Amino acid sequence: MKRAHKLVSEYMEKVGSRYTMQKKAIVDELCKVKTHFEVDDFIVKMHQKDNDFSRATVYRVIKQLLEGGFLQKINTKDGKVFYEQNFGDKLHDHIICNNCGRIQEIKDDLVGDLLDKYCLKINFEADYRSLHIYGLCDKCQKKA
């Protein structure tokens, strides 16, 4: 928890932005959430903490955190947008079930390694990636 604050506050300083109450509150909440979430649900949560917390602020801070690499964006096939916090760990790649909507991580370092190698080969300096695989999860296959 402390760690996330430290990371973000250092980042904010680096980019010449203040580490305000609202940003701290958002980082706190992100530490609790851990898994992927929708902006709207997140806004509701922030409202519960503080009725004056504004929609605009959440969007503004999310944008900053995304730029800083503290958040990862997940686009589902049907156009929904999720975010997932990522304080200092590796990026996550995701597998999304079209039927039940379950999102699971790809747990295989080979994937990341291979992509890193590829970027090196073509001389591309990667700073972010988004990998989503859609289909039917094992449970939903059985149902169908």
Partner DNA sequence: ATGCATGCAAACTTTTTGCAGATCA
Partner DNA sequence: TGATCTGCAAAAAGTTTGCATGCAT
Which of 25, 39 has the CB closer to a second copy? 39
Which of 43, 137 has the CB closer to DNA? 43
For a second copy, the binding residue among 21, 44, 100, 126 (CB under 8 A) is: 126
Task: Look at the block and give the residue holding tokens 């094992």.
Answer: 138
Separation of alpha carbons 68 and 62, rounded Å: 10
Q: Cβ 120 to DNA, closest distance in Å?
A: 31
For DNA, the binding residue among 19, 29, 68, 115 (CB under 7 A) is: 19
120 contacts a second copy (rule: CB under 8 A): no
Q: Which element (helix H / strand E) includes 106?
A: none
Contact residues for 97 (Cβ-Cβ < 8 A; gap 6+)? 103, 134, 135, 136, 137, 140
36 contacts DNA (rule: CB under 7 A): no
Of 129, 135, 137, the residue nearest 93 (C-alpha) = 129
Separation of alpha carbons 97 and 103, rounded Å: 7
DSSP 3-state assignment of 37? strand
Sketch the per residue contact string, 63 through 102, with DNA: x for CB under 7 A, - otherwise: x---------------xxx---------------------
Contact residues for 44 (Cβ-Cβ < 8 A; gap 6+)? none
Which of 28, 115 has the CB closer to DNA? 28
Binding residues for DNA, rule: CB under 7 A, are 16-23, 39-40, 50, 52-57, 59-61, 63, 79-81
Binding residues for a second copy, rule: CB under 8 A, are 66, 73, 75, 77, 95, 97-98, 104, 106, 108, 110-111, 114-115, 118-119, 122-138, 141
